């Protein structure tokens, strides 16, 4: 019985040493979404395609992936533009945080990245605690320059003033009397 000729777009049979597939999702140690990769037919047939991680690399799928990639690049460019604008605005802003301190200026607690992020959020800036880069908790009164990393290449510095709370300054004035 003669063998049927196998379709070039299908991932059946094992005569070929590799097949080309388009990744639908990021796959560790293989590639990112939209990449055209060559894999063993069994890996594609038994894992990548059934799990929805890849699709057969037909011309139509390649065009669809390329159009999707362009949309993603446009969205990323718009996001980066927004983050650069936010970084420029943040660079002009300073934060004042009140904390309980002793007469030597040492805080009873400490100021953390979450405290700075919360103050920035109250001021109307969308900054998360993970984006605030400090070397450790702030434990003394004073002015600090803190780096905000909005994206890997988009950073800005803000001034953070740690001042004593009004109640602690009143207490120290009463102690002096």
pLDDT digit string (tens) for 104-142? Answer: 989 998 999 999 999 999 999 999 999 999 988 899 999
Q: Tell me which architecture the domain covering 86-176 has in CATH.
A: Roll (3.10)
What would the mean pLDDT of 71-76 be, rounded to a whole number?
A: 92
Ordered by start, the domain boundaries in the chain are 19-57, 86-176
- Alpha helices, H only, 20-132: 41-43, 59-91, 113-122
| Predicted confidence (pLDDT) per residue in 60-71, tens digit | 888 887 888 899
Q: Tell me which architecture the domain covering 19-57 has in CATH.
A: 3-Layer(aba) Sandwich (3.40)
- 109 is written with which tokens? 């607690």
Residue with tokens 């590799």: 18
Hey, do 19-57 and 86-176 end up sharing a CATH topology, with the first three levels equal? no
DSSP state of 91: H
The answer to whether 140 and 97 are in contact (CB under 8 A) is no
Q: What pTM did the predictor assign? A: 0.62
- Dihedral pair phi/psi, residue 65, rounded to 5°: -65, -40
Distance between CA 155 and CA 40 in Å, rounded? 43
């Amino acid at each position: 019985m003669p063998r049927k000729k196998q379709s070039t777009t299908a991932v059946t049979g094992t005569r070929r040493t590799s097949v080309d597939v388009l990744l639908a999702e990021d796959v560790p140690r293989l590639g990112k979404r939209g990449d055209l990769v060559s894999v063993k037919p069994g890996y594609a047939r038994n894992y990548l395609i059934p799990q929805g991680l890849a699709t057969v690399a037909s011309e139509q799928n390649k065009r669809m992936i390329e159009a999707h990639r362009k949309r993603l690049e446009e969205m990323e460019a718009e996001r980066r533009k927004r983050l650069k604008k936010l970084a420029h605005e943040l660079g002009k802003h300073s934060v004042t945080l009140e904390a309980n301190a002793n007469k030597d200026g040492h805080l009873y607690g400490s100021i953390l990245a979450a405290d700075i992020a919360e103050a920035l959020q109250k001021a109307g800036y969308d900054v998360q605690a993970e984006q605030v880069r400090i070397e450790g908790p702030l434990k003394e009164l004073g002015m600090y320059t803190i780096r905000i990393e909005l994206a890997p290449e988009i950073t800005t510095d803000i001034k953070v003033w740690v001042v004593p709370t009004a109640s602690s300054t009143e207490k120290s004035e009463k102690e002096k009397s």
